[in-house]
Structure 1
Amino acid sequence: MAESGDSLLKTTDGEVVLTEGERNGNRESKHCEDTSMEAESEHQNKDAEERLPENQSETEQSPVTVQEERPVERRTSESDDMEEEEREEEETEQDTAEQFAQIKERIQKSKLYLDVEPHQWPIIYSPDYNISFLGFEKLHPFDSGKWGKVYSLLKKECMLCDETIICPLEATEDDLLVAHTKKYISRLKWSISVAGITEVPPVALLPNYIVQKKVLRPLRLQTGGSILAAKLAMERGWAINIGGGFHHCSSKQGGGFCAYADITLALRFLFHQGTIQKAMILDLDAHQGNGHERDFMQDKESVYILDVYNRHIYPRDGFAKRGISRKVEVNYFIADEQYMTLVASNLEAALNEFEPDILVYNAGTDSLEGDPLGALSISPQGIIRRDMMVFEFARDRPKPIPIVMVTSGGYQRNNADIIAASILNLWRRGLISCPEAEEFQAKQDGPSTSSRQTPEGEETPSTSNSESAPQGNRGFFRSFLGFFGK
């Protein structure tokens, strides 16, 4: 007989029934399978739960991270920009310092500041000021020999002689680079550029070495004369360059028969040496002085420009007008009284607004009646009175202002006579003097043949041709040329 735990039981239906041992074994096996499945399920759920927070963390943290990183990127970008700006400022300051050092070095090496003897007038002139070459100079209305005529007339009146006049040196390239750019100086080595500046087209056909010698060298000499005259004005109280006054030329561009910026250069020399802190330019040429206005446009606190000019003629430089501190624009054919009133009132107002260490007087005579380009109607006596008034203003200030005069424009054959008459008038009225020069002159001439004192009843001196200026000529041709300028 089989044991009861191991026997098979049969039902009446023929079904096999497991014994109790088999049922227990099956139950344990099923329990193990269930336990294994539950453990595996729990492990999978746990992995899923562990993965889910990680994914959620990435999802939730990602926008925050981007939001935090973006401002950092912006801040970094702004910081870089600031650093770049600071570097650029440092480089600019460094470049400016280097340029300043170069300019100072050039001035220190310059030989233009000559030693002058006590018996020499602070009047600058060289026979080489005059321009003459195959008649080319006659193609421009400017009298390119007027400077020599002025000197001859002053010498004839026994005011000065060869021993009492000062001959300047020619401004070198290094001297010119105190104000001019290298690019502009290089342009002058092309004859076609010089032809445009001097407004004499045939000059473009000449070899440049001839242009340099016959055209530009006289202008460089006059430029050297203006630089020296400004220095002497600070030492003697006044000075006159019989040439110069190239007020259409800036550091970067020439024009209107002006190839070098002598006024700018004269002041740059003084500024960089610390001789002056402030300067005034009084421009009474009939044309706007656009060259020095462009050069000192950013320096209006240290350079004050008073410009009185015909508003209808060359150069009509609207941009350069920004450099003018006091602008007086006049109309065609303004005459003596109105003109003198405007000059006097505006000069007095300017000197009340601004106290300069030096006054640069651009004394053009193209405002003279009959001038084909200036188109104003100032008489010869009016020009002489004008110059006298300016020197009186400089002298009569509580602290007299050193004044340097340059002769600038003028396009009539009698301009030299009027300039000479004006200088003689200044001398005879005691507005300019040099006792040592006069004593030297007296010794040279023996008994004085000069007449410093103005004769009784004579307001101003006259020269042989100064009264021959055309009066009242307002024809169409004159107004036509005046309108279109140079």
Structure 2
Amino acid sequence: MPQPRHGTYTTWQFLAPIQNNSAASPPIKSFANLHLLHLLQSINNAFSGTTMGTPSSTNRDSSNATTSESGGVESERRNRILSSKLYFDVHASKVPLIYSSSYDIAFLGIEKMHPFDSSKWGRICRFLIAEGLLDKKHIVEPLEAKKEDLLVVHSESYLDSLKSSSIVSTIVEVPPVAVLPNCLVDKHVLYPFRKQVGGTILAAKLAKEQGWAINVGGGFHHCSAEKGGGFCAYADITLCIYFAFVRLNISRVMIIDLDAHQGNGHEKDFSDDRRVYILDMYNPDIYPFDYEARRYINQKVEVASGTTTSEYLSRLDGALKVAAGAFDPELIIYNAGTDVLDGDPLGRLKISPNGIAARDEKVFMFARERDIPLVMLTSGGYMKSSAKVIADSITNLAKKSLISMESVQDITIT
């Protein structure tokens, strides 16, 4: 298990929006200087005075007080979870697919200033409905994660920092957001995120009840308890797991993070928590370059830029086999980013659409064979084609009987 972390890591701040995704002006070039930026940051961190020696006598003398304080924090966290309204009973006419029209971000054109398709969540559902796989009335709509819910993981100071439009602009990597009134930023940017957080948290309850659940949004794996970044303002994965510990009486959770980017947020949050096993398969050549957080990954699978479908799936097979022998989870959180797609400007891998479907099928089969509830989150994906690829993969899961889009009510009537 990874050792407790020491010091802090400062993530990069995005310097300019991407204006053009055309082949003539590849977005990758706009990010070419980031590798150098991170190398400079690493050098700066090395000279920041952070030490990794043994605890001082002062620290040892204060251990009892620290233990008492920790107990108080855990008690407060538990009380917040137990009083939350984010877990609610879902009608039998619903399927465990969670979405709200509030997920999509479209305001004054800011959605065009970042390569992320911030309307992909609605497009996924529209594709599923058009294909006849999903009935709109069967979709589960989550509640918004309120401040008391977010305080389960985040500090008051972090949540207060989001009242600064400048800070939010850094997190979502859209500089013009910095000059907008914060009330508008909260309504049109942060509120959609909070709805998605509510969806991720609820998904664990539905997965425990029905074997699986898909939150069409969520997967904000770059956000930790104290720091957002990479288009991730709230730590929904961490929140989901803490809620599951308390409300579902679950004691062991496996995170399978297959987004192209390293999931440094949840890795820092569970750096010394043996209840959580992290399998992270990511491209080490791209953001976030969080070398500290990499030390907390239980199974680190690095796939270099240009990795093809066959190699990727082979590496995944091996990783799942290792995970099966290393840990026995009661819940799986599957972060299913599609930024691994061939042509994605930020992921830089070469996985085909069929490869995405095969990848998702392997993870769902892994859970099904072991009778482990699984939560799927859509996470990253920076091309317009991502929504259709996700919808096609969900359709494939249904065809392979790994999920069912028939509601409990429909099955009973049949």
Query: Is the Cα contact below 8 Å between 2:92 and 2:409 reproduced in 1?
Result: no
In structure 2, do the counterparts of structure 1 residues 224 and 84 end up closer, same or farther at CA, with 3 Å as the change threshold?
closer
Distance in structure 1 (CA, Å) of the matches to 2:64 and 2:412: 58
With over 3 angstroms needed to count, the CA separation of the structure-2 counterparts of 1:137 and 1:441, relative to structure 1, is: farther
Q: Which amino acid in structure 1 is aligned with residue 303 of structure 2?
A: V
Inter-partner Cα distance in structure 2 for 1:233 and 1:220: 20
Q: 1:93 to 1:274 in 2, by over 3 A?
A: farther
What residue number does 2:43 align with?
A: none
Q: Which amino acid aligns with 2:268?
A: R
Q: Which residue in 1 is equivalent to 2:354?
A: 381
User: 1:275 matched to which residue of 2?
Assistant: 249
Which residue is equivalent to 1:59? none
Q: Distance in 2 between matches of 1:344 and 1:158?
A: 32
Q: Does the Cα contact within 8 Å between 1:288 and 1:310 map onto a contact in 2?
A: yes
Does the Cα contact within 8 Å between 1:124 and 1:165 map onto a contact in 2?
A: yes
Which residue is equivalent to 1:266? 240
Once residues 94 and 356 of structure 2 are traced to their aligned partners in structure 1, the CA distance between those partners, rounded to angstroms, is: 26
Q: State the alpha-carbon separation in 1 of the partners of residues 392 and 294 from structure 2.
A: 32
Hey, which bits of structure 1, 4+ residues long, moved more than 3 A?
81-86, 434-438, 440-443
Deviation at 1:323, TM superposition (A): 1.2
SS of residue matched to 2:176: helix
Report what 1:175 is aligned to: 149
**Structure 1 residues 143 and 127, CA gap change in structure 2 (3 angstroms):** same
Contact 1:119 1:434 in 2 (8 A): no
- 1:92 deviation in Å? 1.8
The structural deviation recorded for 1:98 is 1.4
Query: Would you say the 8 A contact 1:170–1:217 is kept in 2?
Result: yes
The corresponding residue for 1:309 is 282
- Aligned partners of 2:140 and 2:186: how far apart in 1? 23
In the alignment, which residue of structure 2 is the partner of 1:343?
316
Aligned residue for 1:187? 161
- Aligned AA for 2:341? L
CA shift for structure 1 position 177: 0.7
SS of structure 1 residue aligned to 2:259: coil
Q: Is the 8 A contact 2:257 2:279 kept in 1?
A: yes
Is the 1:296–1:303 Cα contact (8 Å) retained in structure 2?
yes
TM-score, normalised to structure 2's length?
0.84
1:255 match? 229
Query: C-alpha displacement at 1:271, in angstroms?
Result: 1.4
Is the partner of 1:282 in helix, strand or coil? strand
Equivalence for 2:51: none
| SS of match in other structure, 1:359 | strand
Equivalent position to 1:359, from 328, 332, 351? 332
In the alignment, the residues of structure 1 paired with residue 58 and residue 104 of structure 2 have an alpha-carbon distance, to the nearest angstrom, of 56
Mapped contact 1:160–1:437 kept (Cα < 8 A): no
Please, what is the CA RMSD of the aligned residues?
Answer: 1.9
Asked if the contact 2:134/2:405 (under 8 Å) is kept, the reply is no
Query: For 2:347 and 2:127, how far apart are their aligned partners in 1?
Result: 24
Kept in 2: contact 1:246–1:260 (CA 8 A): yes
Which of 429, 449, 452 lines up with 2:400 in the alignment?
Answer: 429
Residue number in structure 2 paired with 1:452: none
Name the SS of the counterpart of 2:137 in structure 1: coil
Instruction: Trace 1:128-143 onto structure 2 (pairs within 5 A).
Output: 128-143=102-117
In the TM superposition, 1:126-275 aligns within 5 A as 126-273=100-247, 275=249
Deviation at 1:90, TM superposition (A): 3.2
User: Cα distance 1:309–1:84, how it changes in 2: closer, same or farther (>3 A)?
Assistant: closer
Give 1:89 deviation, angstroms: 3.1
Q: Distance in 2 between matches of 1:261 and 1:97?
A: 22
* Matched positions, count: 359
Distance in 2, matches of 1:272 and 1:323, equals: 23
Contact residue 238 and residue 403 of structure 1 kept, 8 A = yes
The runs of 5 or more residues in structure 1 that have no matched partner are 1-80, 444-486
Task: Give the AA of the match of 1:259.
Answer: A
Higher helix share: 1
2:291 counterpart SS class: coil
Q: Flag structure 2 segments of 5+ consecutive residues without an equivalent.
A: 1-55
- Which runs of structure 2 are paired with 1:21-170 in the superposition (5 Å)? 88-170=62-144
- Residue matched to 1:409: 380
1:85 Cα deviation after fit: 5.2
CA shift, 1:84, in A, is 9.8
Aligned-partner Cα distance in 1 for 2:327–2:302: 20
What is the rounded CA distance, in whole Å, between the counterparts of 2:406 and 2:214 in structure 1? Answer: 16
Structure ID, larger Rg: 1
Secondary structure in 1 aligned to 2:346? coil
Which residue of structure 1 lines up, in the alignment, with residue 303 of structure 2? 330
Following TM superposition, by how much is the alpha carbon of 1:391 offset from its aligned partner in structure 2, in angstroms? 0.5
Identity %: 52
Q: Give the AA of the match of 1:370.
A: G
**Once the 2 structures are TM-superposed, how far is the Cα of residue 272 of structure 1 from its aligned partner?**
2.9
Other structure's SS at 1:323 match: coil
The answer (yes or no) to whether the contact 1:394–1:403 under 8 Å persists in 2 is: yes
